[in-house]
Structure 1
Amino acid sequence: MIPYTYSLHKINDTVNFGFSADDYSRFKFGDDLVSKSFGKDLAEGFIKYYLQENLITEQIVVISSPYCFIPTATFAMKNAFVAQLNRWLVEHGGLVVQEAKVHRTITYKEDYGGLSAEERMELIGNDSFHIDKGFLEGKTLLFLDDIKITGSHERMILKMVKEYGLKNDIHMLYFAELVNKNIHPNIENHLNYHLVKSIFDLDEIIKSGNFAINTRIVKYILNSDFESFSVFLERQNSAFMNSLYDLSLGNSYHTIPSYEGNLNHLKSYLNQQAYKLS
Protein backbone atom coordinates (compact mmCIF):
# COMPACT_ATOMS: atom_id res chain seq x y z
CA MET A 1 0.00 0.00 0.00
CA ILE A 2 1.53 3.29 -1.16
CA PRO A 3 -0.15 6.39 0.33
CA TYR A 4 -0.79 9.58 -1.60
CA THR A 5 1.40 12.36 -0.17
CA TYR A 6 0.69 16.07 -0.49
CA SER A 7 2.59 19.01 0.97
CA LEU A 8 1.52 22.62 0.54
CA HIS A 9 5.03 24.11 0.76
CA LYS A 10 8.24 22.50 -0.53
CA ILE A 11 11.35 23.61 1.37
CA ASN A 12 14.28 23.69 -1.03
CA ASP A 13 16.58 26.23 0.64
CA THR A 14 17.20 27.68 4.09
CA VAL A 15 15.91 31.18 3.39
CA ASN A 16 12.79 31.06 1.23
CA PHE A 17 10.22 28.74 2.76
CA GLY A 18 7.09 29.92 1.00
CA PHE A 19 5.64 30.94 4.38
CA SER A 20 6.68 33.19 7.26
CA ALA A 21 9.22 31.55 9.58
CA ASP A 22 8.01 33.80 12.42
CA ASP A 23 4.43 32.67 11.81
CA TYR A 24 5.53 29.04 11.85
CA SER A 25 7.29 29.60 15.18
CA ARG A 26 4.17 31.24 16.60
CA PHE A 27 2.09 28.33 15.32
CA LYS A 28 4.32 25.78 17.05
CA PHE A 29 3.90 27.63 20.35
CA GLY A 30 0.14 27.94 20.29
CA ASP A 31 -0.90 30.96 18.19
CA ASP A 32 -4.36 29.84 17.14
CA LEU A 33 -4.79 32.58 14.55
CA VAL A 34 -1.79 31.25 12.64
CA SER A 35 -3.02 27.68 13.16
CA LYS A 36 -6.33 28.58 11.54
CA SER A 37 -4.58 30.24 8.63
CA PHE A 38 -2.28 27.25 8.07
CA GLY A 39 -5.16 24.77 8.29
CA LYS A 40 -7.31 26.73 5.85
CA ASP A 41 -4.41 27.07 3.40
CA LEU A 42 -3.64 23.34 3.57
CA ALA A 43 -7.28 22.44 2.91
CA GLU A 44 -7.48 24.80 -0.06
CA GLY A 45 -4.26 23.39 -1.48
CA PHE A 46 -5.41 19.79 -1.12
CA ILE A 47 -8.75 20.64 -2.73
CA LYS A 48 -7.11 22.45 -5.64
CA TYR A 49 -4.38 19.95 -6.38
CA TYR A 50 -6.25 16.72 -5.62
CA LEU A 51 -9.93 16.74 -4.72
CA GLN A 52 -11.14 18.86 -7.65
CA GLU A 53 -10.03 16.10 -10.01
CA ASN A 54 -10.40 13.16 -7.61
CA LEU A 55 -13.57 13.68 -5.58
CA ILE A 56 -13.68 11.27 -2.63
CA THR A 57 -17.26 10.00 -2.33
CA GLU A 58 -16.77 7.60 0.57
CA GLN A 59 -16.46 8.67 4.18
CA ILE A 60 -13.29 10.67 4.95
CA VAL A 61 -11.61 10.44 8.36
CA VAL A 62 -9.14 13.18 9.30
CA ILE A 63 -6.45 12.14 11.77
CA SER A 64 -4.11 14.68 13.37
CA SER A 65 -0.54 13.86 14.34
CA PRO A 66 -0.30 11.30 17.18
CA TYR A 67 -0.37 12.49 20.77
CA CYS A 68 -0.92 11.21 24.29
CA PHE A 69 -2.94 13.66 26.44
CA ILE A 70 -1.85 17.14 25.31
CA PRO A 71 -2.59 17.85 21.63
CA THR A 72 0.19 18.88 19.27
CA ALA A 73 0.25 22.15 17.32
CA THR A 74 -1.09 20.18 14.35
CA PHE A 75 -4.33 19.55 16.26
CA ALA A 76 -5.19 23.28 16.16
CA MET A 77 -4.33 23.39 12.45
CA LYS A 78 -6.52 20.33 11.93
CA ASN A 79 -9.59 22.12 13.25
CA ALA A 80 -9.40 24.80 10.56
CA PHE A 81 -8.52 22.21 7.91
CA VAL A 82 -11.68 20.22 8.73
CA ALA A 83 -13.88 23.33 8.71
CA GLN A 84 -12.64 24.44 5.29
CA LEU A 85 -12.77 20.92 3.82
CA ASN A 86 -16.32 20.35 5.11
CA ARG A 87 -17.56 23.51 3.40
CA TRP A 88 -16.17 22.34 0.07
CA LEU A 89 -17.40 18.77 0.44
CA VAL A 90 -20.95 19.84 1.26
CA GLU A 91 -21.02 22.18 -1.74
CA HIS A 92 -19.97 19.28 -3.97
CA GLY A 93 -22.31 16.65 -2.58
CA GLY A 94 -19.76 14.93 -0.38
CA LEU A 95 -19.99 13.66 3.19
CA VAL A 96 -18.72 15.80 6.04
CA VAL A 97 -15.55 14.35 7.54
CA GLN A 98 -15.19 12.30 10.68
CA GLU A 99 -12.19 12.46 13.01
CA ALA A 100 -10.07 9.87 14.77
CA LYS A 101 -7.05 9.92 17.05
CA VAL A 102 -3.78 8.04 16.95
CA HIS A 103 -2.95 7.36 20.59
CA ARG A 104 0.76 7.66 21.22
CA THR A 105 2.91 6.48 24.10
CA ILE A 106 5.99 8.72 24.09
CA THR A 107 9.25 7.40 25.51
CA TYR A 108 11.51 10.47 25.30
CA LYS A 109 11.71 14.17 26.17
CA GLU A 110 14.46 15.27 23.75
CA ASP A 111 13.77 18.09 21.30
CA TYR A 112 13.09 16.11 18.15
CA GLY A 113 13.59 19.03 15.75
CA GLY A 114 17.33 19.27 16.31
CA LEU A 115 18.13 15.63 15.56
CA SER A 116 19.44 13.84 12.50
CA ALA A 117 17.34 11.33 10.55
CA GLU A 118 19.01 8.39 12.29
CA GLU A 119 18.59 9.90 15.77
CA ARG A 120 14.92 10.58 15.08
CA MET A 121 14.19 7.00 14.10
CA GLU A 122 16.11 5.70 17.09
CA LEU A 123 13.95 7.80 19.42
CA ILE A 124 10.55 7.46 17.81
CA GLY A 125 11.06 3.76 17.15
CA ASN A 126 10.45 3.07 20.83
CA ASP A 127 7.07 4.81 20.85
CA SER A 128 3.81 2.94 20.38
CA PHE A 129 0.85 4.04 18.23
CA HIS A 130 -2.74 2.84 18.52
CA ILE A 131 -5.95 3.54 16.58
CA ASP A 132 -9.54 2.25 16.42
CA LYS A 133 -9.39 -0.12 13.44
CA GLY A 134 -13.11 -0.92 13.47
CA PHE A 135 -14.12 2.74 13.21
CA LEU A 136 -11.91 3.22 10.14
CA GLU A 137 -13.20 0.30 8.08
CA GLY A 138 -14.19 1.26 4.53
CA LYS A 139 -13.16 4.90 4.93
CA THR A 140 -10.53 7.14 3.32
CA LEU A 141 -7.91 8.31 5.82
CA LEU A 142 -6.24 11.72 5.79
CA PHE A 143 -3.26 11.84 8.17
CA LEU A 144 -2.32 15.45 8.93
CA ASP A 145 1.00 16.78 10.16
CA ASP A 146 2.62 20.21 10.11
CA ILE A 147 5.95 19.33 8.53
CA LYS A 148 7.77 16.39 6.95
CA ILE A 149 11.53 16.52 7.47
CA THR A 150 12.98 13.01 7.34
CA GLY A 151 9.76 10.99 7.08
CA SER A 152 10.30 9.15 10.37
CA HIS A 153 6.82 10.00 11.66
CA GLU A 154 5.32 8.85 8.38
CA ARG A 155 7.21 5.56 8.59
CA MET A 156 5.85 4.98 12.08
CA ILE A 157 2.29 5.71 10.91
CA LEU A 158 2.67 3.29 8.00
CA LYS A 159 4.17 0.71 10.35
CA MET A 160 1.05 1.05 12.50
CA VAL A 161 -1.14 0.75 9.38
CA LYS A 162 0.62 -2.49 8.46
CA GLU A 163 0.42 -3.91 11.98
CA TYR A 164 -3.32 -3.21 12.13
CA GLY A 165 -3.83 -4.63 8.65
CA LEU A 166 -5.59 -1.48 7.42
CA LYS A 167 -6.67 -1.66 3.77
CA ASN A 168 -7.93 1.92 3.56
CA ASP A 169 -6.98 4.52 0.95
CA ILE A 170 -4.47 6.70 2.79
CA HIS A 171 -3.34 10.29 2.24
CA MET A 172 -0.44 11.90 4.10
CA LEU A 173 -0.91 15.68 4.18
CA TYR A 174 1.67 18.23 5.33
CA PHE A 175 1.76 21.99 5.60
CA ALA A 176 5.43 21.87 4.58
CA GLU A 177 8.01 19.31 3.45
CA LEU A 178 11.79 19.40 3.27
CA VAL A 179 12.55 18.29 -0.28
CA ASN A 180 16.24 19.25 -0.42
CA LYS A 181 18.04 16.36 1.26
CA ASN A 182 21.27 18.41 1.40
CA ILE A 183 19.70 20.53 4.13
CA HIS A 184 20.23 19.15 7.66
CA PRO A 185 17.04 18.07 9.47
CA ASN A 186 17.76 20.61 12.22
CA ILE A 187 16.21 23.18 9.86
CA GLU A 188 13.06 22.15 11.74
CA ASN A 189 14.35 23.71 14.95
CA HIS A 190 15.43 26.78 13.02
CA LEU A 191 11.75 27.20 12.13
CA ASN A 192 10.39 26.14 15.52
CA TYR A 193 12.43 28.73 17.42
CA HIS A 194 12.61 31.45 14.79
CA LEU A 195 10.57 33.83 16.94
CA VAL A 196 10.68 32.17 20.36
CA LYS A 197 14.16 32.60 21.86
CA SER A 198 13.25 32.46 25.55
CA ILE A 199 10.34 31.59 27.82
CA PHE A 200 9.45 35.30 28.02
CA ASP A 201 8.73 35.40 24.28
CA LEU A 202 5.71 33.20 25.05
CA ASP A 203 3.91 35.90 27.02
CA GLU A 204 2.51 37.74 24.01
CA ILE A 205 1.24 34.51 22.42
CA ILE A 206 -0.38 33.22 25.61
CA LYS A 207 -2.12 36.53 26.35
CA SER A 208 -3.13 37.29 22.75
CA GLY A 209 -6.68 36.00 23.16
CA ASN A 210 -5.97 33.44 20.44
CA PHE A 211 -3.98 30.80 22.30
CA ALA A 212 -4.28 27.01 22.06
CA ILE A 213 -1.97 25.20 24.46
CA ASN A 214 -0.01 22.28 23.00
CA THR A 215 2.68 19.74 23.84
CA ARG A 216 5.59 21.86 22.65
CA ILE A 217 4.86 24.90 24.77
CA VAL A 218 4.23 22.79 27.89
CA LYS A 219 7.56 20.97 27.49
CA TYR A 220 9.39 24.19 26.70
CA ILE A 221 8.07 25.88 29.86
CA LEU A 222 8.82 22.90 32.10
CA ASN A 223 12.33 22.59 30.67
CA SER A 224 13.22 26.23 31.40
CA ASP A 225 15.75 27.11 34.07
CA PHE A 226 14.17 27.48 37.50
CA GLU A 227 14.79 31.23 37.85
CA SER A 228 13.19 32.05 34.49
CA PHE A 229 10.34 29.65 35.18
CA SER A 230 9.61 31.32 38.53
CA VAL A 231 9.54 34.82 37.02
CA PHE A 232 7.41 33.62 34.10
CA LEU A 233 4.93 32.00 36.48
CA GLU A 234 4.40 35.25 38.39
CA ARG A 235 3.15 36.85 35.15
CA GLN A 236 0.49 34.22 34.38
CA ASN A 237 -3.11 34.02 35.52
CA SER A 238 -4.58 31.23 37.60
CA ALA A 239 -6.42 29.59 34.70
CA PHE A 240 -3.23 29.17 32.68
CA MET A 241 -1.23 27.85 35.63
CA ASN A 242 -3.89 25.29 36.55
CA SER A 243 -4.15 24.17 32.93
CA LEU A 244 -0.36 23.87 32.69
CA TYR A 245 -0.25 21.70 35.82
CA ASP A 246 -3.18 19.45 34.90
CA LEU A 247 -1.94 18.88 31.34
CA SER A 248 1.55 18.11 32.64
CA LEU A 249 0.13 15.43 34.90
CA GLY A 250 -2.01 14.08 32.07
CA ASN A 251 1.11 13.57 29.96
CA SER A 252 2.95 12.01 32.95
CA TYR A 253 5.55 14.78 32.93
CA HIS A 254 5.74 14.50 36.72
CA THR A 255 7.67 11.24 36.13
CA ILE A 256 10.42 13.01 34.16
CA PRO A 257 13.25 14.06 36.53
CA SER A 258 14.27 17.15 34.56
CA TYR A 259 10.75 18.60 34.90
CA GLU A 260 10.38 17.73 38.58
CA GLY A 261 11.72 20.96 40.11
CA ASN A 262 9.55 23.28 38.04
CA LEU A 263 6.45 21.13 38.45
CA ASN A 264 6.87 20.99 42.23
CA HIS A 265 7.25 24.76 42.29
CA LEU A 266 4.11 25.15 40.19
CA LYS A 267 2.21 22.81 42.52
CA SER A 268 3.32 24.79 45.59
CA TYR A 269 2.41 28.06 43.89
CA LEU A 270 -1.10 26.79 43.09
CA ASN A 271 -1.55 25.51 46.63
CA GLN A 272 -0.55 28.92 48.03
CA GLN A 273 -3.01 30.66 45.71
CA ALA A 274 -5.79 28.28 46.76
CA TYR A 275 -4.95 28.88 50.46
CA LYS A 276 -5.18 32.66 50.01
CA LEU A 277 -8.60 32.31 48.43
CA SER A 278 -9.96 29.97 51.11
Structure 2
Amino acid sequence: MSDRIALHTLAADACVLPSDGVVPAIDYSRFKYGDGVASIAFGRALADRFHAIVAPRDGERIFVTSSGYGAVPPAARSLVSPFVARMRRLAPGVELKPLRVHRLGVSPGDYATMDAAARELAVGAKSMHVDPRIDVSGARVIALDDIRVTGTHELAMDGCLNEAGASWIDHLYIVDAHSAAGRPSLESDLNGVAASSVEDLLVIVDSPRFVPNARLAKKITTLGRFDQERFLAAVPPTVAAWILDAVERDGLSHVPAYATGFRRLQLTAEALAKTTATA
Protein backbone atom coordinates (compact mmCIF):
# COMPACT_ATOMS: atom_id res chain seq x y z
CA MET A 1 0.00 0.00 0.00
CA SER A 2 1.11 3.57 -0.61
CA ASP A 3 0.10 7.16 -0.03
CA ARG A 4 1.05 10.51 -1.53
CA ILE A 5 1.75 13.95 -0.03
CA ALA A 6 2.92 17.13 -1.81
CA LEU A 7 3.93 20.59 -0.67
CA HIS A 8 2.33 22.14 -3.76
CA THR A 9 -0.18 20.70 -6.22
CA LEU A 10 -0.15 22.25 -9.66
CA ALA A 11 -3.59 22.84 -11.17
CA ALA A 12 -4.39 21.30 -14.56
CA ASP A 13 -4.36 24.70 -16.26
CA ALA A 14 -1.27 26.00 -14.44
CA CYS A 15 2.16 26.16 -16.07
CA VAL A 16 4.20 27.98 -13.41
CA LEU A 17 4.83 27.79 -9.70
CA PRO A 18 3.94 30.76 -7.46
CA SER A 19 6.50 33.47 -6.74
CA ASP A 20 6.16 32.94 -2.99
CA GLY A 21 4.67 30.49 -0.49
CA VAL A 22 6.00 27.06 0.47
CA VAL A 23 7.40 26.31 -3.02
CA PRO A 24 8.53 29.53 -4.75
CA ALA A 25 9.36 29.06 -8.42
CA ILE A 26 12.88 30.47 -8.11
CA ASP A 27 13.77 28.36 -5.07
CA TYR A 28 12.47 25.19 -6.73
CA SER A 29 14.51 25.82 -9.88
CA ARG A 30 17.67 26.59 -7.90
CA PHE A 31 17.17 23.46 -5.81
CA LYS A 32 17.08 21.32 -8.97
CA TYR A 33 20.63 22.47 -9.82
CA GLY A 34 22.22 22.19 -6.39
CA ASP A 35 21.12 25.03 -4.11
CA GLY A 36 21.58 23.39 -0.71
CA VAL A 37 19.73 26.10 1.22
CA ALA A 38 16.60 25.38 -0.83
CA SER A 39 17.14 21.63 -0.27
CA ILE A 40 17.16 22.13 3.49
CA ALA A 41 14.03 24.29 3.39
CA PHE A 42 12.12 21.78 1.25
CA GLY A 43 13.34 18.78 3.24
CA ARG A 44 12.22 20.32 6.50
CA ALA A 45 8.88 21.40 5.04
CA LEU A 46 8.23 17.84 3.81
CA ALA A 47 9.01 16.49 7.30
CA ASP A 48 6.64 19.01 8.89
CA ARG A 49 3.87 18.09 6.45
CA PHE A 50 4.41 14.35 6.87
CA HIS A 51 4.45 14.56 10.66
CA ALA A 52 1.28 16.67 10.72
CA ILE A 53 -0.62 14.31 8.42
CA VAL A 54 0.69 10.88 9.37
CA ALA A 55 1.97 11.28 12.97
CA PRO A 56 4.18 8.14 12.98
CA ARG A 57 4.06 5.92 16.06
CA ASP A 58 6.86 5.57 18.62
CA GLY A 59 8.94 2.52 17.80
CA GLU A 60 7.87 2.50 14.15
CA ARG A 61 10.66 1.47 11.78
CA ILE A 62 10.95 3.89 8.84
CA PHE A 63 13.40 4.06 5.95
CA VAL A 64 13.81 7.33 4.03
CA THR A 65 14.96 7.30 0.42
CA SER A 66 15.05 9.58 -2.59
CA SER A 67 14.23 8.77 -6.19
CA GLY A 68 16.34 5.90 -7.49
CA TYR A 69 19.65 6.66 -9.17
CA GLY A 70 22.76 5.05 -10.59
CA ALA A 71 26.15 6.51 -9.69
CA VAL A 72 25.44 10.23 -9.28
CA PRO A 73 22.72 11.51 -6.91
CA PRO A 74 19.80 13.59 -8.24
CA ALA A 75 18.62 16.77 -6.53
CA ALA A 76 16.05 14.73 -4.58
CA ARG A 77 18.83 12.98 -2.66
CA SER A 78 19.71 16.28 -0.97
CA LEU A 79 16.27 16.23 0.69
CA VAL A 80 16.99 13.10 2.72
CA SER A 81 19.37 14.49 5.37
CA PRO A 82 17.31 17.58 6.32
CA PHE A 83 14.13 15.47 6.28
CA VAL A 84 15.60 12.84 8.62
CA ALA A 85 17.11 15.46 10.94
CA ARG A 86 13.77 17.29 11.22
CA MET A 87 11.82 14.08 11.77
CA ARG A 88 14.16 13.01 14.56
CA ARG A 89 13.28 16.24 16.36
CA LEU A 90 9.55 15.96 15.67
CA ALA A 91 9.25 12.23 16.43
CA PRO A 92 12.22 11.14 18.60
CA GLY A 93 10.60 7.77 19.34
CA VAL A 94 10.60 6.72 15.67
CA GLU A 95 13.45 4.63 14.23
CA LEU A 96 14.58 6.48 11.08
CA LYS A 97 17.23 5.24 8.64
CA PRO A 98 18.33 6.62 5.25
CA LEU A 99 17.97 4.16 2.37
CA ARG A 100 19.22 4.18 -1.20
CA VAL A 101 17.27 2.78 -4.13
CA HIS A 102 19.56 1.76 -6.98
CA ARG A 103 18.61 2.40 -10.57
CA LEU A 104 19.85 0.33 -13.49
CA GLY A 105 20.54 1.83 -16.90
CA VAL A 106 20.97 5.39 -18.15
CA SER A 107 18.31 7.71 -19.58
CA PRO A 108 18.87 8.43 -23.29
CA GLY A 109 18.32 12.13 -22.63
CA ASP A 110 16.83 14.66 -20.21
CA TYR A 111 14.03 12.89 -18.34
CA ALA A 112 12.33 16.23 -17.67
CA THR A 113 11.66 16.74 -21.38
CA MET A 114 10.25 13.25 -22.06
CA ASP A 115 6.60 12.39 -22.59
CA ALA A 116 4.92 9.49 -20.79
CA ALA A 117 5.87 6.87 -23.39
CA ALA A 118 9.54 7.88 -23.39
CA ARG A 119 9.61 7.87 -19.58
CA GLU A 120 8.29 4.33 -19.48
CA LEU A 121 11.13 3.25 -21.76
CA ALA A 122 13.71 5.14 -19.69
CA VAL A 123 12.46 3.83 -16.33
CA GLY A 124 11.28 0.25 -16.79
CA ALA A 125 9.35 -1.75 -14.24
CA LYS A 126 12.51 -3.64 -13.24
CA SER A 127 14.92 -0.71 -13.32
CA MET A 128 15.01 -0.18 -9.54
CA HIS A 129 16.25 -2.37 -6.71
CA VAL A 130 17.16 -2.25 -3.03
CA ASP A 131 20.37 -3.83 -1.75
CA PRO A 132 19.19 -7.29 -0.57
CA ARG A 133 21.51 -7.01 2.46
CA ILE A 134 19.26 -4.24 3.83
CA ASP A 135 16.21 -5.62 5.63
CA VAL A 136 13.25 -3.49 4.59
CA SER A 137 10.63 -6.16 5.26
CA GLY A 138 7.77 -4.93 7.41
CA ALA A 139 9.07 -1.36 7.50
CA ARG A 140 7.51 1.85 6.28
CA VAL A 141 9.41 3.61 3.46
CA ILE A 142 9.22 7.32 2.75
CA ALA A 143 10.27 8.15 -0.82
CA LEU A 144 11.22 11.81 -1.32
CA ASP A 145 11.16 13.31 -4.80
CA ASP A 146 11.02 16.74 -6.37
CA ILE A 147 8.08 16.33 -8.75
CA ARG A 148 5.43 13.88 -9.91
CA VAL A 149 4.41 14.32 -13.54
CA THR A 150 3.41 11.06 -15.24
CA GLY A 151 3.87 8.80 -12.20
CA THR A 152 6.19 6.43 -14.09
CA HIS A 153 9.02 6.73 -11.60
CA GLU A 154 6.61 6.28 -8.68
CA LEU A 155 5.36 2.98 -10.10
CA ALA A 156 8.93 1.72 -10.53
CA MET A 157 9.73 2.69 -6.94
CA ASP A 158 6.58 0.95 -5.68
CA GLY A 159 7.58 -2.19 -7.54
CA CYS A 160 11.05 -2.50 -6.04
CA LEU A 161 10.05 -1.42 -2.52
CA ASN A 162 7.11 -3.82 -2.40
CA GLU A 163 9.39 -6.57 -3.67
CA ALA A 164 11.83 -5.72 -0.86
CA GLY A 165 9.00 -6.24 1.63
CA ALA A 166 8.02 -2.69 2.63
CA SER A 167 4.75 -2.65 4.57
CA TRP A 168 3.77 0.88 3.44
CA ILE A 169 5.22 3.44 1.02
CA ASP A 170 4.71 7.18 1.38
CA HIS A 171 5.59 9.26 -1.69
CA LEU A 172 6.43 12.83 -0.70
CA TYR A 173 6.83 15.45 -3.43
CA ILE A 174 7.75 19.09 -3.49
CA VAL A 175 5.41 19.50 -6.48
CA ASP A 176 2.62 17.24 -7.71
CA ALA A 177 2.06 18.18 -11.36
CA HIS A 178 0.25 15.03 -12.42
CA SER A 179 -2.92 16.90 -13.41
CA ALA A 180 -0.84 19.00 -15.82
CA ALA A 181 1.14 16.05 -17.21
CA GLY A 182 -0.17 16.56 -20.75
CA ARG A 183 2.44 19.26 -21.44
CA PRO A 184 5.76 17.50 -22.21
CA SER A 185 7.88 20.59 -21.50
CA LEU A 186 6.26 21.35 -18.13
CA GLU A 187 8.95 19.84 -15.89
CA SER A 188 11.78 21.28 -17.95
CA ASP A 189 10.16 24.72 -17.87
CA LEU A 190 9.84 24.61 -14.06
CA ASN A 191 13.47 23.51 -13.75
CA GLY A 192 14.76 26.37 -15.86
CA VAL A 193 13.11 29.35 -14.17
CA ALA A 194 16.29 30.34 -12.30
CA ALA A 195 18.80 28.22 -14.21
CA SER A 196 18.51 29.26 -17.85
CA SER A 197 21.90 30.94 -18.25
CA VAL A 198 25.52 30.37 -17.27
CA GLU A 199 25.21 33.35 -14.93
CA ASP A 200 22.26 31.67 -13.17
CA LEU A 201 24.25 28.45 -12.75
CA LEU A 202 27.28 30.30 -11.39
CA VAL A 203 25.12 31.97 -8.75
CA ILE A 204 23.91 28.53 -7.64
CA VAL A 205 27.44 27.08 -7.54
CA ASP A 206 28.52 30.06 -5.42
CA SER A 207 25.58 29.67 -3.00
CA PRO A 208 25.98 28.49 0.61
CA ARG A 209 25.76 24.68 1.03
CA PHE A 210 25.98 24.06 -2.73
CA VAL A 211 25.45 20.35 -3.48
CA PRO A 212 26.35 19.30 -7.07
CA ASN A 213 23.98 16.78 -8.62
CA ALA A 214 23.30 14.81 -11.79
CA ARG A 215 21.10 17.50 -13.34
CA LEU A 216 23.83 20.12 -13.08
CA ALA A 217 26.35 17.73 -14.66
CA LYS A 218 24.01 17.04 -17.58
CA LYS A 219 23.26 20.73 -18.04
CA ILE A 220 26.92 21.71 -18.26
CA THR A 221 27.62 18.83 -20.64
CA THR A 222 24.98 20.04 -23.10
CA LEU A 223 26.10 23.69 -23.14
CA GLY A 224 27.84 25.09 -26.20
CA ARG A 225 31.62 25.52 -26.25
CA PHE A 226 31.59 29.23 -25.35
CA ASP A 227 29.25 28.70 -22.39
CA GLN A 228 31.27 25.70 -21.18
CA GLU A 229 34.41 27.86 -21.26
CA ARG A 230 32.70 30.62 -19.27
CA PHE A 231 31.42 28.16 -16.69
CA LEU A 232 34.67 26.22 -16.21
CA ALA A 233 36.74 29.41 -16.03
CA ALA A 234 34.55 30.76 -13.22
CA VAL A 235 34.04 27.74 -10.95
CA PRO A 236 36.55 26.18 -8.53
CA PRO A 237 38.61 23.36 -10.10
CA THR A 238 36.99 20.90 -7.71
CA VAL A 239 33.55 21.62 -9.22
CA ALA A 240 34.82 21.18 -12.78
CA ALA A 241 36.52 17.90 -11.81
CA TRP A 242 33.36 16.69 -10.08
CA ILE A 243 31.24 17.32 -13.19
CA LEU A 244 33.63 15.49 -15.50
CA ASP A 245 33.84 12.57 -13.10
CA ALA A 246 30.06 12.49 -12.60
CA VAL A 247 29.35 12.25 -16.34
CA GLU A 248 31.77 9.35 -16.68
CA ARG A 249 30.57 7.50 -13.58
CA ASP A 250 26.96 7.76 -14.70
CA GLY A 251 27.86 6.38 -18.13
CA LEU A 252 26.65 9.52 -19.92
CA SER A 253 29.84 9.81 -21.93
CA HIS A 254 28.56 6.89 -24.03
CA VAL A 255 25.03 8.28 -24.49
CA PRO A 256 24.58 10.07 -27.85
CA ALA A 257 22.75 12.99 -26.25
CA TYR A 258 25.77 13.75 -24.06
CA ALA A 259 28.83 12.18 -25.73
CA THR A 260 29.79 15.11 -27.98
CA GLY A 261 29.26 17.69 -25.25
CA PHE A 262 31.27 15.63 -22.81
CA ARG A 263 34.25 15.39 -25.16
CA ARG A 264 34.04 19.14 -25.78
CA LEU A 265 33.92 19.70 -22.01
CA GLN A 266 37.01 17.53 -21.52
CA LEU A 267 38.96 19.44 -24.17
CA THR A 268 37.88 22.78 -22.73
CA ALA A 269 38.93 21.75 -19.22
CA GLU A 270 42.31 20.55 -20.52
CA ALA A 271 42.89 23.80 -22.40
CA LEU A 272 42.03 25.90 -19.34
CA ALA A 273 44.33 23.81 -17.17
CA LYS A 274 47.25 24.38 -19.59
CA THR A 275 46.54 28.11 -19.71
CA THR A 276 46.50 28.30 -15.93
CA ALA A 277 49.71 26.31 -15.63
CA THR A 278 51.61 28.62 -18.00
CA ALA A 279 50.19 31.88 -16.68
- Partner of 1:235 in structure 2? 234
1:47: Cα distance to partner? 0.7
Does the residue aligned with 1:208 lie in a helix, a strand or coil? coil
C-alpha spacing 1:131/1:264, structure 2 compared with 1 (3 Å) = same
CA contact (8 A) 2:37 2:208 kept: no
Report percent identity of matched pairs: 27
Report the Cα offset of residue 217 of structure 1: 0.3
The Cα shift of 1:126 comes to 7.9
Does the residue aligned with 2:135 lie in a helix, a strand or coil? Answer: helix
How many Å apart are 1:84 and its aligned residue? Answer: 0.5
Look up the match of 1:203.
Answer: 202
Equivalent pair of 2:66/2:143 in contact (CA under 8 Å): yes
SS in 2 for 1:142: strand
State the match for 1:68 in structure 2. Answer: 70
* C-alpha spacing 1:238/1:101, structure 2 compared with 1 (3 Å): same
Return closer, same or farther for 1:15/1:245 CA change in 2, 3 Å cut-off: closer
Q: Which moved more, 1:12-21 or 1:224-233?
A: 12-21
Higher alpha-carbon deviation: 71-80 or 231-240:
231-240
- The within-5 A match list for 1:139-158 is 139-158=139-158
The one-character-per-residue Cα deviations of 1:66-117 (angstroms, maximum 9, x if unpaired) are: 1112111111122111110111111xx333x111111112332412222222
Given that residues 64 and 75 in structure 1 are in contact (C-alpha distance below 8 angstroms), is that contact kept between their aligned partners in structure 2?
yes
| Contact 1:242/1:270, CA 8 A, preserved across alignment | no
Q: 1:27: which partner in 2?
A: 31
1:244 aligns with 2:243: yes
How has the CA–CA distance of structure 1 residues 185 and 49 changed in structure 2, closer, same or farther, with 3 Å as cutoff?
farther
Q: Structure 2-normalised TM-score?
A: 0.87
- Report the CA distance shift for 1:120/1:56 in structure 2 as closer, same or farther (over 3 A): farther
The residue number in structure 2 matching 1:85 is 87
What 5-or-longer segments of structure 2 have no aligned partner? none
- RMSD between aligned residues: 2.4
Q: Secondary structure at the match of 2:69?
A: coil
Cα-to-partner distance string for 1:166-221 (whole Å, 9 max, x where unaligned): 25222111122125347524321121001111233211110123210000000000
TM-score when scaled to structure 1? 0.87
Q: How many residues align?
A: 270
Give secondary structure in 2 for the equivalent of 1:180. helix
Q: Which amino acid aligns with 1:260?
A: F
Q: Alpha-carbon deviation of 1:137? A: 2.3
Secondary structure at 2:91 match in 1: helix
8 A Cα contact 1:141 1:171, kept in partner: yes
Gaps of 5+ in 1: none
